[in-house]
């Protein structure tokens, strides 16, 4: 949903609080679509900070359907986000273009998703001791063992494989 910033940028000392729906349905996650579920409205606080200046803070939470990094089972991962921004956005390199601001139009979904991409986990697990899939036959080892000869020399190997897989998916 887009909101109009004209009033907050022009009326000195104005503070506004509002709740708007979060409309995004999915995000890209390592080349895959991850559905957004159990959404909450976005609580916004808008604060005028002088002529054509404003501070905007948001707060929301939702679930992201990701896949377990070991067994690929869907896992609902809870995101709690509190994005904030100053407009105009000044950084060391000068004034920064924000993808979700166009003129006086402010894209609330874009604002939340920008922060979401920063906070995304590298890897999620359905449970800390997920046994993963058999590397030979692909059986989900949480549901029972198979008859393959897959000698794992050290339980720490699963950790190393997680890191290896996470890095591999990033390329
Ligand atoms: Zn798992
Ligand atoms: Zn097997």
Q: Per-residue pLDDT for 155 more than 70?
A: no
Neighbours of ion ligand 2 (CB under 5 A): 134, 136-137, 139, 146, 148
d(CA 2, CA 33): 23
Neighbours of ion ligand 1 (CB under 5 A): 68, 70-71, 73, 126, 130
What pLDDT sits at residue 169? Answer: 61
Burial of 116 (0-12, 13-18, 19+ CB in 10 A): buried
Domain extent listing, the chain:
2-119
Å from CA of 69 to ligand 1 middle: 7
pTM of the model as a whole: 0.79
Q: Per-residue pLDDT for 72 more than 60?
A: yes
pLDDT in tens, 8-44: 999 999 999 999 999 999 999 888 899 999 999 999 9
- At residue 163, φ and ψ (nearest 5 deg) are -65, -40
């Amino acid at each position: 949903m887009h909101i109009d910033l004209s009033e907050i940028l022009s009326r000195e000392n104005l503070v506004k609080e509002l709740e708007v729906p979060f409309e995004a349905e999915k995000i890209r996650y390592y080349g895959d679509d991850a559905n957004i579920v159990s959404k909450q409205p976005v609580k916004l606080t808008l604060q005028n900070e002088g002529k054509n200046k404003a501070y905007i803070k948001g707060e929301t939470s939702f679930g992201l359907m990701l896949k377990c990094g070991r067994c690929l089972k869907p896992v609902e991962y809870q995101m709690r986000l509190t994005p904030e921004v100053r407009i105009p956005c000044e950084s060391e390199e000068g004034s920064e273009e924000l993808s979700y601001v166009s003129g006086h139009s402010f894209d609330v979904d874009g604002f939340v998703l920008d922060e979401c991409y920063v906070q995304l986990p590298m890897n999620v697990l359905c449970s800390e001791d997920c046994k993963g899939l058999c590397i030979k036959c692909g059986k989900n080892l949480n549901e029972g063992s198979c008859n393959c000869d897959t000698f794992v020399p050290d339980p720490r190997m699963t950790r190393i494989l997680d890191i290896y897989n996470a890095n591999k998916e990033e390329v």
